Amino acid sequence: MSVTDKRAPGVRISDLSVVYRTQAGELPAVRGVDLELVPGTITGVVGESGSGKSTLALSLLNAVQPPGRISSGSVEIDGLGDVVSLTGDNLRKARGRHVGYVFQAAQNSLNPLKTVGKQLLDLGRSHDVDDLPGLVKEARSLLDRMGMDGARVLDSHQHELSGGMRQRVGIMLALVLNAHIVVLDEPTTALDMITQATILRIIREVHEERGLTTLVITHDLGVVAEIADRLAVMYGGRLVEQGPTREVLGAPKHPYTRGLLQAIPRLVGDIDEARALPGRPPTLGTIPPDGCVFRERCAVRMDVCETGEPPVLTIGPRIVACHAEAGEREPESEPAEEPEKETVTTGPVRGEEQA
Ligand SMILES: Nc1ncnc2c1ncn2[C@@H]1O[C@H](COP(=O)(O)OP(=O)(O)OP(=O)(O)O)[C@@H](O)[C@H]1O
Ligand SMILES: [Mg+2]
């Protein structure tokens, strides 16, 4: 972890839930998420498609759009307060200035009628940037660092750039206003492996130079292994496991995290070693209302998983929500449902990994 800049604000997401209105009523996409983004660290959120990662990322800017809405919880950003209650101009200013954001599929979100440079100036003006030439210089330098001809890219329209180039433009736009919190949603999906490695290295460099608080959302465990200090694993709208990346990937505690890791095909070795998780991840309408959200696919499922919400266990710097893990830590003589254990917390995550 590098805390090079004490100005970087921390973010505390507490008991956050988001629902989408559908014909079947309001369905949960994010449920009771507690997550702390520690200043100066990169937090990675991984999970399968539809697990709620982008919805969680949008909540950080209070940018969930109808038919979605934040139904409960808070997102406290140091110096800004709870963004869930920000509105109007205050909210618009917070986006961009305080929180830089790359949307998923950012490569498709540029305006086709304007050059990248023109869009950059629009962005600067909408955030009252006085030094527009300075902004252009910074943009050019970021694009150059990401292996492109920055001046040429600023002069280009979207159709003149490849998908991977547009994705890097998206990253530049998230970084150029010098926000201290940066949220990157699938920042490297359109990139080949070599370019991906370069871009991840540059994101890490900029993060360290500026001492940012960074959130990277991805379905790719390789990306988080490469870049994230801390890792949060999402399934069916819930965070099932969190902790320092190396510890979580080195010794996963939640059966879902173990399944994800086993499903990665190795470049070298027997291809049969990669085992896909059985079944499918839940969709909005099929997330079970009670009990453990992962139980249908779980190899260590127990009766209690059907109805009981998994206890949230804090084990050193790690957090895991699992009945089986709770059982493992339970002394034989104590009943499994005893709630008053030191290691069991149901409150938000606090203060772990403060160096
Ligand atoms: N506008 C919407 N209307 C209805 N349901 C939505 C909407 N946006 C997302 N959802 C649903 O919410 C759930 C979470 O979606 P989200 O985009 O957050 O997942 P994700 O983890 O980012 O997936 P991916 O890896 O595919 O990007 C999914 O079941 C999705 O179908
Ligand atoms: Mg997404």
Instruction: Domain ranges for the chain, please list them.
Output: 11-250
CA 51 / ligand 1 centre spacing (Å): 7
Work out the end-to-end distance of the chain between its first and last CA atoms, rounded to an integer number of angstroms.
8
* pTM recorded for the entire structure: 0.88
CA 67 / ligand 2 centre spacing (Å): 16
The count of other CB atoms within 10 Å of the CB of residue 303 is 9
Q: CA 93 to CA 45: how far, in whole Å?
A: 25
Q: Give the position, in ligand 1's atom list, of the atom nearest the Cα of 48.
A: 25
Is residue 52 within 6 Å of ligand 1 at its C-beta?
Answer: yes
Is residue 59 within 6 Å of ligand 1 at its C-beta?
Answer: no
Residue minimizing CA distance to atom 4 of ligand 1: 20
Contact yes or no for 209/175 (Cβ under 8 A) = no
Nearest to 312 by CA among 336, 348, 283, 285: 348
The count of other CB atoms within 10 Å of the CB of residue 9 is 18
Is residue 173 within 6 Å of ligand 1 at its C-beta?
Answer: no
Q: Strand order in 99-102's β-sheet?
A: 99-102, 181-185, 213-218, 42-46, 230-235, 238-244, 318-321, 312-315
Question: Please, which residues bridge with residue 238 across strands?
Answer: 235
Is residue 256 within 6 Å of ligand 1 at its C-beta?
Answer: no
Q: CA 36 to CA 347: how far, in whole Å?
A: 12
pLDDT score recorded for residue 354:
38
pLDDT score recorded for residue 263:
80
Nearest to 168 by CA among 96, 227, 110: 110
pLDDT score recorded for residue 97:
79
**Pairing between strand 81-82 and 238-244?**
unpaired
Q: CA 212 to CA 291: how far, in whole Å?
A: 37
The count of other CB atoms within 10 Å of the CB of residue 216 is 28
Contact yes or no for 45/217 (Cβ under 8 A) = yes
Contact yes or no for 213/9 (Cβ under 8 A) = yes
Q: CA 34 to CA 296: how far, in whole Å?
A: 23
Q: CA 173 to CA 15: how far, in whole Å?
A: 30
Q: CA 106 to CA 237: how far, in whole Å?
A: 23
Q: Is the dihedral of CA 143, 145, 149, 151 positive or negative?
A: positive
Is residue 103 within 6 Å of ligand 1 at its C-beta?
Answer: no
Angle at 297 between CA 295 and CA 300, to 5 degrees: 65
In CATH, the architecture of 11-250 is 3-Layer(aba) Sandwich (3.40)
Which DSSP string do the residues of 200-240 spell out, in sequence order?
A: HHHHHHHHHHHT-EEEEEES-HHHHHHH-SEEEEEETTEEE
Which DSSP string do the residues of 244-272 spell out, in sequence order?
A: EHHHHHHS--SHHHHHHHHTSPPSSS-GG
Q: Give the position, in ligand 1's atom list, of the atom nearest the Cα of 22.
A: 4
For the chain of 355 residues, list the mean pLDDT of each consecutive stretch of 10: 60 97 92 96 95 94 94 94 90 84 74 94 91 97 95 96 90 92 90 89 94 94 93 96 96 94 68 70 82 92 92 95 86 49 42 38
Is residue 70 within 6 Å of ligand 1 at its C-beta?
Answer: no
Contact yes or no for 33/218 (Cβ under 8 A) = no
Q: Give the position, in ligand 1's atom list, of the atom nearest the Cα of 217.
A: 22
Is residue 283 within 6 Å of ligand 1 at its C-beta?
Answer: yes
Q: Is 39 exposed, middle or buried, given 0-12, 13-18 or 19+ CB atoms closer than 10 A?
A: buried
What type of residue sits at position 208? Answer: E
pLDDT score recorded for residue 292:
94
Residue 6 φ then ψ, to 5°: -70, -10
Q: Give the position, in ligand 1's atom list, of the atom nearest the Cα of 282.
A: 29
